[in-house]
Structure 1
Amino acid sequence: MGERPAGRPGEERADAARNRAKILAAAEEIVATHGVEALAMADVAAAAGVGVGTLYRRFGDRSGLAHALIDRREREFQAAYLSGPPPLGPGAPAAERIRAFLHALARRTVEQLDLLLVAETAGPFARFGGAYHAYHRHLAILVAELRPGRDPSFLADALLAPLAANLLSYRRELTLDGLRAGLDDLLTGTLPE
């Protein structure tokens, strides 16, 4: 039968979609069973039944594979703060939305800390990619609403800084409750109503 051509530009071929699903399932299994430190490209390729070249062409490197494993939860999180119910989603006052956003992001970060550490430390600016940009923009809009006349870009960076994967990995003793309490203290000092 031969290879099925893709439809519209940017559409994934059926065999490529199957390979992607097999690769991500194999990578998730390796991480669940052995931890992120066992996430080696050759092992993932072998477990998925694809060539290592396919894996590198598809994901670039280990960091790209980590980003792909994070992606589903990231999409759910973005949908929740962009269009979900308040206070995380639209409809609540800016201060409540900021707090809900940071608390939800803290939980997400703690739950996927090891994967985020791989993804965020691949290069000097790896942390500041697409998701960070979206978080920053969201917070800057809310900060500008709450505190007109302040620098919303700087304050958004300051609010996101404690959630860096490398910092949280370094501070492993910090619980989710402790992290949220610290974020609340930071909000009280930075964005008083």
Structure 2
Amino acid sequence: MDLHVVGEEPPERGDAARNRQRVLVAANELLHSCGAEALTMDALAERAGVGKGTIFRRFGSRAGLMRALVNESEIDLQRRIVFGPPPLGPGTDPISRLAAFGPAVLETLELHGAVILAGQTKPGARYEHPAYQFQLTHVLMLLRQARAAGDHRLLAESLLATIDVPLVRFQRNQLGMSLDRLGAHWEWLVRATVQSPS
């Protein structure tokens, strides 16, 4: 996936940007209501009020559309982390920010986990992907700010492993665990791992 991180989005013409946004909003609505399997180009064109040709010209294929949805979702998450209100964004203590981070990622995985998982064809490639690197950098920064004991890099990777796509999808689909349960466990794990400085 060609993720454009916050502040690096490529410029678009006004009408192209509007059409792109209409398609992405409609696609997200269909994903929420019907799931990824029911997201057809015909249904999307009707929902967005554009021709199928417009969708194909902008995204190339259904796979290209799905990649764009994941990128849009990741960019939105990054914006909320960097510029949004606390506790996910700046303005509170690092432990509270770290506790809020897991549930925010879980929300993204709930909507786009199937697409993200399908794109993970090369073992280990996801750990070099800009989205993962952003998340790793963010968690590392918060662990350092919280003065966590131990190896910060290994701690960050261990925490991120608990919200990795294959595991979360198995927990949700095969074990029937709720998002609330997974989010509460993330917060418990963060607070058990990172103690407030005395």
TM over 0.5: yes
- Give aligned-pair identity as a percent: 35
Match of 2:177 in 1: 174
- Measure how far apart 1:99 and its partner are: 0.8
For the residues of structure 1 that align with 2:44 and 2:185, how far apart are their CA atoms?
41
Distance 1:106 1:28, change over 3 A: closer
Change (3 A) 1:147 1:61: farther
Please tell me whether the aligned partners of residues 148 and 195 of structure 2 are also in contact (alpha carbons under 8 angstroms). Answer: no
Q: Note if contact 1:106-1:163 (Cα within 8 Å) is conserved in structure 2.
A: yes
Unaligned runs of 5+ in 2: 1-9
Structure 2 residue aligned with 1:183: 186
2:116 maps to 119
TM-score normalized by the length of structure 1: 0.70
User: Number of paired residues?
Assistant: 178
Rg larger for: 1
Contact map agreement 2:31 2:39 (CA 8 A) in 1: yes
Residue ranges of structure 1 left out of the alignment (5+ in a row): 1-9
C-alpha displacement of 1:35: 1.9
1:34 Cα deviation from its structure 2 partner: 3.5
Q: How far, CA to CA, are the matches of 1:91 and 1:30 in structure 2? A: 35
Report the TM-score when normalising by structure 2.
0.69
SS, match of residue 136 in structure 1 = helix
- How is 1:22-171 mapped onto 2 (pairs within 5 angstroms)? 23-24=23-24, 27-28=27-28, 30-40=30-40, 43=42, 47=46, 48-51=50-53, 55=56, 58-59=58-59, 61-110=61-110, 112=111, 115-122=112-119, 123-124=121-122, 125-126=125-126, 129-147=129-147, 150-171=150-171
| 3-state DSSP of counterpart to 1:11 | coil
**Residues 70 and 115 in structure 2, CA contact (< 8 A), matched pair in contact too:** no
For 1:4, the equivalent position in structure 2 comes to none
Q: CA RMSD in A?
A: 3.2
Judged with a 3 Å threshold, the aligned counterparts in structure 2 of structure 1 residues 142 and 25 are, in CA distance, closer, same or farther, namely closer
Aligned to 2:5: none
Bigger RCO of structures 1 and 2 (CA < 8 A, at least 6 apart): 2
Partner of 2:91, secondary structure, is coil
**Counterpart of 1:192 in 2: which secondary structure?**
coil
Q: Distance in 1 between matches of 2:94 and 2:159?
A: 14
Question: How far apart are residue 14 of structure 1 and its match?
Answer: 4.6
Tell me: CA distance 1:14–1:83, structure 2 relative to 1, closer, same or farther (3 Å): closer
In 1, distance between residues paired with 2:85 and 2:33? 35
**TM-aligned CA deviation for residue 142 of structure 1:** 1.0
Q: Describe the shift of the 1:138–1:63 C-alpha distance in structure 2 as closer, same or farther (beyond 3 A).
A: farther
How far the C-alpha of 1:117 sits from its partner, in A, is: 2.0
CA separation of 1:89/1:15 partners in 2, compared to 1, >3 Å: closer, same or farther? Answer: closer
What is the Cα deviation at residue 36 of structure 1? Answer: 0.1
Match of 1:3 in 2: none
